[in-house]
Structure 1
Amino acid sequence: MSTTQSPLTVHQFAMRFSSTPRGARLARRLCGHRLDAWGIPYGTDTHDVITLVAAELCANAVRHGHVAGRDFHVLLTATPATGTVRIEVTDTRGERLPHLPTTQRDDRDGGRGLLLVEALADRWGWTPRADGGPGKTVWAQCTAPHLA
């Protein structure tokens, strides 16, 4: 007997991570692992793009959304019917909203993460935290044409 997945199957991965650089690295690695398990193999352009977008959103949650003692949450959703992957990263700092830099100095470290997200994702944005708690969710959506 062979097992086949319905084209309507939606894959989801959700987890909380410590709001630290180590937590952001772990989130990136686990997102990459899930993508591979869902049929977006390591080393493909699609995998690399989605993993980079997830890494940037997680790094921003740690750098700009950190509140002492509070974690950030990642929700990764792959929808084969639409050929898309959505990355949502929720932090607990609602007063610092994401925006693209209006000017860029070449000598400054950082500040380019959302520019990468803007360039690589098909769409991105933010919403207030869905459960009504403090914070926000920053999301990005990427095309994954061979998603199974």
Structure 2
Amino acid sequence: MLEPLRQGLPPLDPSAVSNAASCALPARYEAVREARQFTRGTLGQWEIGDRFDDVCLVVSELVTNALRHGLPANTPRAAGQEPPVRLHLMRWTERLVCAVRDPSHDSPVAREAEDFSAESGRGLFLVDSFADSWGWHPLAGTLSGKVVWALFRLRTDSRGPLVELAD
């Protein structure tokens, strides 16, 4: 899942992840709030505060897009089957990756940012504006669908730990 994250940056070694967390999200729009709460709690535990607002906005947009465009219409989920959307948060010392997996094979389509009065269609423009990098790729192997990810560079404090989250 991490191979395409090398765009213009030094390689990310999956074994060097200092923290990782993920949560399954149900196929309903309340999942966007659940994803933000999960992100807030996780970033608080990891003491990441310098990009908190940007990360939460991007997570909201990625999850909304997955629910709106990545799920087949009216497809019931079999009992015991994992929810179709999953949020992954992975942290390295100076980087954070938010990745949202959904079952669709369709590429995300960024609309032109010209019409700010439109009620929808600005999600990927916002992701592009607030994240340091983003992209997507199809999943292979036993996983079906795609993952859309956003990368954030984190500022480290001279004393060592990352800047604490302020309430």
TM-score range (shorter-chain normalised) is 0.7 to 0.9
Post-superposition shift, 1:65? 0.6
Please give the alpha-carbon distance, in whole angstroms, between the structure 2 residues aligned to 1:100 and 1:24: 20
Post-superposition shift, 1:99? 2.1
134, 137, 140: which one aligns with 1:127 = 137
Post-superposition shift, 1:135? 1.2
Please give the alpha-carbon distance, in whole angstroms, between the structure 2 residues aligned to 1:124 and 1:9: 18
Check whether the contact 2:113–2:122 (CA below 8 A) recurs between aligned residues: no
| 1:1-148 equivalences in 2 (<5 Å) | 10-41=18-49, 45-67=50-72, 68=75, 69=77, 70-80=83-93, 83-95=94-106, 97-102=107-112, 104-146=114-156, 148=162
Please give the alpha-carbon distance, in whole angstroms, between the structure 1 residues aligned to 2:17 and 2:70: 32
Which segments of structure 1 move beyond 2 Å, counting only runs of 4 or more? 67-70, 102-108, 130-134
Please give the alpha-carbon distance, in whole angstroms, between the structure 2 residues aligned to 1:35 and 1:136: 24
Post-superposition shift, 1:116? 0.5
Please give the alpha-carbon distance, in whole angstroms, between the structure 1 residues aligned to 2:17 and 2:136: 26
Post-superposition shift, 1:18? 0.5
Q: Normalising by structure 2, report the TM-score.
A: 0.73
Please give the alpha-carbon distance, in whole angstroms, between the structure 2 residues aligned to 1:58 and 1:84: 20
Tell me the residue number matched to 1:3: none
- State the aligned residue count: 135
Distance 1:39 1:130, change over 3 A: farther
Distance 1:132 1:114, change over 3 A: same
Please give the alpha-carbon distance, in whole angstroms, between the structure 2 residues aligned to 1:92 and 1:9: 25
Cα RMSD between the aligned structures?
1.9
Q: What is the SS of the residue equivalent to 1:99? A: coil
Distance 1:133 1:105, change over 3 A: same
Q: What is the SS of the residue equivalent to 1:142? A: strand
Please give the alpha-carbon distance, in whole angstroms, between the structure 1 residues aligned to 2:141 and 2:87: 14
Check whether the contact 2:96–2:151 (CA below 8 A) recurs between aligned residues: yes
| Percentage of pairs with the same residue | 29
Please give the alpha-carbon distance, in whole angstroms, between the structure 2 residues aligned to 1:76 and 1:20: 20
Please give the alpha-carbon distance, in whole angstroms, between the structure 1 residues aligned to 2:17 and 2:84: 29
